[in-house]
């Protein structure tokens, strides 16, 4: 007697249901625990006042609320020079840095100025390889 040959093949499939169950449980766990994680608290040091001798030697780049740039040179009796563009400011800054190479650069910006403008000035000073840079703050703010 001959055995009847079966046409059915063995079908191999991966059962993904347990995998999906584990993924959904992990998703629920992360969704529940995410709000419980505390955000990082950064304790910034208080802003100190610049001594009078440091300020006398400094070049201060001011970013007023009305736009533009203002260079205040304490080496020349707090002389203020107004600029509309960064390249103009850079040209005078290079001249003053040759006269006073160790003079620190201070950046002060109005609180309404977009931080992007401050970053542009910082990037400009970085490209010029000026390392002695400080940000001016107001006491109590």
pLDDT (tens digit, 9 = 90+) per residue, 104-113? 888 888 888 8
Q: What pLDDT sits at residue 78?
A: 65
- Going from the C-alpha of 12 to that of each of 6, 84, 101, the distances in angstroms are 17, 73, 77
Mean pLDDT, consecutive 10-residue stretches, the chain (141 aa), reads 63 86 96 76 57 63 85 72 82 82 84 87 88 77 49
Q: What pLDDT sits at residue 24?
A: 97
- Helix and strand totals (H; E) in the chain: 4, 5
Q: What pLDDT sits at residue 29?
A: 94
DSSP 64: -
Q: What pLDDT sits at residue 72?
A: 82
Q: What pLDDT sits at residue 5?
A: 60
Q: What pLDDT sits at residue 23?
A: 96
Q: What pLDDT sits at residue 26?
A: 96
For the beta sheet containing 69-73, the strands, ordered from the edge strand earlier in sequence to the opposite edge, are 79-83, 69-73, 59-63, 105-109, 133-135
> What is the pTM for the complete model shown?
0.57
Q: Which domains, from first to last, does the chain contain?
A: 52-135 (3.30.420.270)
Q: Kindly report the backbone phi and psi dihedral angles of residue 79, in degrees, each rounded to the nearest multiple of 5, phi listed first.
A: -65, 135
- With contact defined as beta carbons under 8 Å apart, do 102 and 64 qualify? no
């Amino acid at each position: 007697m001959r055995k009847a040959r079966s046409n059915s093949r063995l079908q191999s499939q991966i059962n993904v249901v347990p995998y999906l169950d584990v993924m959904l449980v992990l998703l629920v766990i992360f969704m529940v625990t995410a709000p419980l994680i505390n955000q990082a608290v950064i304790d910034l040091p208080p802003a100190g006042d610049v001594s009078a001798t440091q300020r006398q030697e400094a070049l201060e780049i001011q970013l007023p609320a009305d736009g533009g740039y203002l260079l205040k040179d304490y080496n020349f009796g707090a002389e203020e020079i107004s600029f509309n563009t960064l390249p103009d400011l850079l040209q005078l800054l290079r001249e003053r840095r040759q006269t006073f190479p160790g003079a620190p650069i201070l950046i002060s910006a109005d609180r309404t100025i977009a931080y992007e403008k401050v970053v542009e000035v910082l990037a400009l000073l970085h490209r010029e390889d000026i390392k002695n840079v400080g940000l001016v703050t107001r006491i109590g703010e």
